[in-house]
Amino acid sequence: MLQKNRLLTVLGAVTLWSVPPVLAQTLDSFFTKEWAYQLAQDPVEASTLGERRYNDRWQDLSLKAVQNRHAHDRAVLKELQGFNRAELPIADQLNYDLFEREYQLKVAEFAYGGYRIPLNQRGGIQTAHELADLLQFNTVKDYEDWLNRLRRFPVYMDQTLGLMQEGVRTRTLLPSVVMARVPAQVDQQLVPTPEASPFYKPFRSFPKDIPPPEQARLQQAAKTAIQTRILPSYRKLKTFLVQKYLPASFASVGVWQIPNGDKFYTLLARKYTTTAMTPAQIHELGLAEVKRIRGEMDTVIQKVGFKGTFAEFLTFLRTDQRFYYQTPEELLTSYRAMSRRIDPGLVTLFKTLPRMPYAIEPIPAAAAPDTTTAYYQQPAAGGSRAGIYYVNLYKPESRPKYEMMALSLHEAVPGHHLQIALAQELGEIPNFRRYGGYTAFIEGWGLYAESLGEDLGLYIDPYDKFGQLTYEMWRAVRLVVDTGLHHYRWDRQKAIDYFLANAAKQKLDVINEIDRYLVMPGQALAYKIGERKIQELRTRARSRLGDKFDIREFHGVVLGSGAVPLDILERNVDNWLAAR
């Protein structure tokens, strides 16, 4: 999600070119070669980034290809060690370190076999059609490329099923409670006619310069491919899920159930937080944060004059119709109005704003019931597609108004869109940094951005402020329930009950959240850990600089290197403070 370009200066005004630039160029060539390899190996990701060379194929998911990629990663690490790090410019020493860290984690993670779980209720081959929404269809070749993907789909499906069979064999599986959602998603693909297939969507309209006979030819080819390739593939998936996979899936929840699952979770905690914190330490931090935020919530409850217990206040928020829209159209209109309130104030907090715009769009209806409140899709490389803030319009009566401001600050600006678009617009950093990144930074920034509603004067209504605290509580609760589920072996209901007792989230959202943590162990830990580090550094900078503290300069330093591990972020800020 981040762009990475060589830094021409470091935050501390250190000169970088202390050695002949040929060394850095050699390292650049190494990074360029590896980036090209990764794009070729993952055509879907390449297409998502706007690289069109591989638009006619899917990723090779055969077990042999998966093992070959792992062997390649190990070889690349050894090749990297052939560079003398000490002789590189400072900026390229950082590139070296980040690349090494990323690949060491990839290699370590492979041993636990997560590749044997190629899909879950949040996405996978059952939602492969959604890729078309991120592609351009301007020429006959664009349509032919999509047709080739349709024709190659049975191989892609068989390879996916092969990995899932390996998962059954090795007991590398997900809980049945979440996988039970997937057959209904597959049913969305089992349409009565090819024209009703979501894979047919690109062929419903054409640019005017494609002649009608050519349009008819492409449409007929699409119908044939869907009838003979897509539909049989999904029937095969449905049968396998119902007859083989679901009966084998875990009755209990938690990654501890897979082979060496406890060790895997410790690795994932380190990966997603970019710290050495143990699951037990993270759990205790979560409990402390829940207690602190609860105190701030009680202050707001007193301010609005509510007479009753905390639990009764949460019930009030969940049931009073003043806090909800009744139609998807009203909800979407309100989300879009949020941006018009947020955008004008950004210049008071940032010296540099991204050139790339963003759009606000509904989450596809087929996926909406099983996914969370919102998410963000980064812009395509090269600017062919803007960033997209996707919002969930399913059951609008369950989506509180008081959450919408904090959510928009997180997903759009000054959160994900601002941070990721700025990263993509950085200078000369390698692509693995420009379009990659670290969850603790990315999601930590998103959560931190929610707090900037105070600086922007957007939390005038105390209920909006309670919504912001609800979202902060949500991320603190994540520290408790994610470690509870995967480290302390909580059952699913205990996690749901803890969430409902501490945050004013609707039960539908809470259940989808808990089920998300079940299939993405450790990822939920990143948000609060990253946000706390950014807040800590802001407090440090304000304390050190006093009246000279400029929030716009601080944000420039935080965002100026793209998404980096938290220890690198801290070093960047300390270098800046030392220079000041």
pLDDT tens digits, residue range 18-35? 334 445 559 999 999 999
As a whole number, mean pLDDT of residues 466-487 equals 97
Average pLDDT, the chain: 94
Instruction: Compute the radius of gyration of the chain from its Cα atoms.
Output: 24
> How far is the C-alpha of 418 from the C-alpha of 350, rounded, in Å?
10
* Percent of the residues in the chain that have a pLDDT greater than 90, as a whole number: 91
As a whole number, mean pLDDT of residues 371-389 equals 90
Both tokens of 463, joined, read 């209920």
As a whole number, mean pLDDT of residues 363-387 equals 89
pLDDT given at position 69: 98
Least confident of 1-5, 115-119, 346-350, 549-553: 1-5
Q: How confident is the model at residue 371 (pLDDT cuts 50, 70, 90)?
A: confident
> How far is the C-alpha of 437 from the C-alpha of 426, rounded, in Å?
13
> How far is the C-alpha of 414 from the C-alpha of 453, rounded, in Å?
9
pLDDT given at position 23: 57
Q: Give the model confidence (pLDDT) of 35-51 as tens digits.
A: 999 999 999 999 999 99
As a whole number, mean pLDDT of residues 153-172 equals 98
| Exposed/middle/buried for residue 527 (C-beta within 10 Å: 0-12, 13-18, 19+) | buried
Least confident of 155-159, 280-284, 481-485, 505-509: 505-509
> How far is the C-alpha of 580 from the C-alpha of 568, rounded, in Å?
18
pLDDT given at position 382: 78
> How far is the C-alpha of 121 from the C-alpha of 514, rounded, in Å?
12
As a whole number, mean pLDDT of residues 329-346 equals 95
Both tokens of 147, joined, read 């047709």
Sequence length of the chain is 580
Q: Give the model confidence (pLDDT) of 503-522 as tens digits.
A: 988 899 899 999 999 999 99
> How far is the C-alpha of 417 from the C-alpha of 420, rounded, in Å?
5
Tokens 């590749």 belong to residue: 115
Q: How confident is the model at residue 366 (pLDDT cuts 50, 70, 90)?
A: confident
> How far is the C-alpha of 272 from the C-alpha of 494, rounded, in Å?
24
* pLDDT of 62 higher than 90: yes
Tokens 């020429």 belong to residue: 139
As a whole number, mean pLDDT of residues 345-369 equals 94
The model carries a pTM of 0.90
* Percent of the residues in the chain that have a pLDDT greater than 70, as a whole number: 96
Q: Give the model confidence (pLDDT) of 176-195 as tens digits.
A: 999 999 999 999 999 999 99
pLDDT given at position 381: 82
As a whole number, mean pLDDT of residues 3-19 equals 29
Q: How far is CA 71 from the centre of its chain?
A: 27
* pLDDT of 568 higher than 80: yes
pLDDT given at position 25: 58
Q: Give the model confidence (pLDDT) of 218-236 as tens digits.
A: 999 999 999 999 999 999 9
* pLDDT of 398 higher than 50: yes
pLDDT given at position 31: 97
As a whole number, mean pLDDT of residues 55-76 equals 98
Least confident of 23-32, 270-279, 384-393, 418-427: 23-32
Both tokens of 9, joined, read 């200066």
As a whole number, mean pLDDT of residues 307-331 equals 95
pLDDT given at position 427: 85
pLDDT given at position 24: 59
Query: Which residue, 201, 203, 193, is CA-closest to 130?
Result: 201
Mind giving me the DSSP string for 249-310? SBSS-SGGGSTTHHHHHHHHHHHHHSS---HHHHHHHHHHHHHHHHHHHHHHHHHTT--S-H
Q: Give the model confidence (pLDDT) of 117-148 as tens digits.
A: 999 999 999 999 999 999 999 999 999 999 99
> How far is the C-alpha of 144 from the C-alpha of 430, rounded, in Å?
32
Query: Which residue, 245, 230, 279, 18, is CA-closest to 118?
Result: 245
Give 566's contacts (C-beta < 8 A, 6+ positions apart): 273, 274, 275, 438, 440, 441, 444, 529, 530, 533
| Exposed/middle/buried for residue 169 (C-beta within 10 Å: 0-12, 13-18, 19+) | exposed
- Decide the pairing of beta strands 358-362 and 387-391: parallel
* pLDDT of 311 higher than 70: yes
The DSSP element (H or E) to which 388 belongs, if any, is: strand 387-391
